[in-house]
Amino acid sequence: MPESVFRDFIKNETFGPQLIKDISTRFRTSLTSVIFRMLTLDIAPIFVVFTSNGKVHYWRKSNDLKVWINDITKLPPPEDSVAMEYLEADYDFIYSGVEKAQLITKSTWFKLNDWEEDIDFYEYCIPTKQYKTIISLIWEA
pLDDT along the chain (141 residues), means of 10: 93 92 96 94 94 97 93 97 98 92 97 94 97 97 93
β-pairing verdict for 46-52 and 133-140? antiparallel
At residue 99, the pLDDT reads: 93
At residue 69, the pLDDT reads: 94
Residue 121: φ, ψ to 5°: -130, 170
At residue 97, the pLDDT reads: 85
| Architecture of the 3-140 domain | 2-Layer Sandwich (3.30)
At residue 98, the pLDDT reads: 85
At residue 68, the pLDDT reads: 93
This prediction's pTM:
0.93
At residue 46, the pLDDT reads: 96
> For the chain, what are the domain ranges?
3-140
Those residues whose C-beta lies under 8 Å from the C-beta of residue 130, and which sit 6 or more positions away, are none
At residue 83, the pLDDT reads: 98
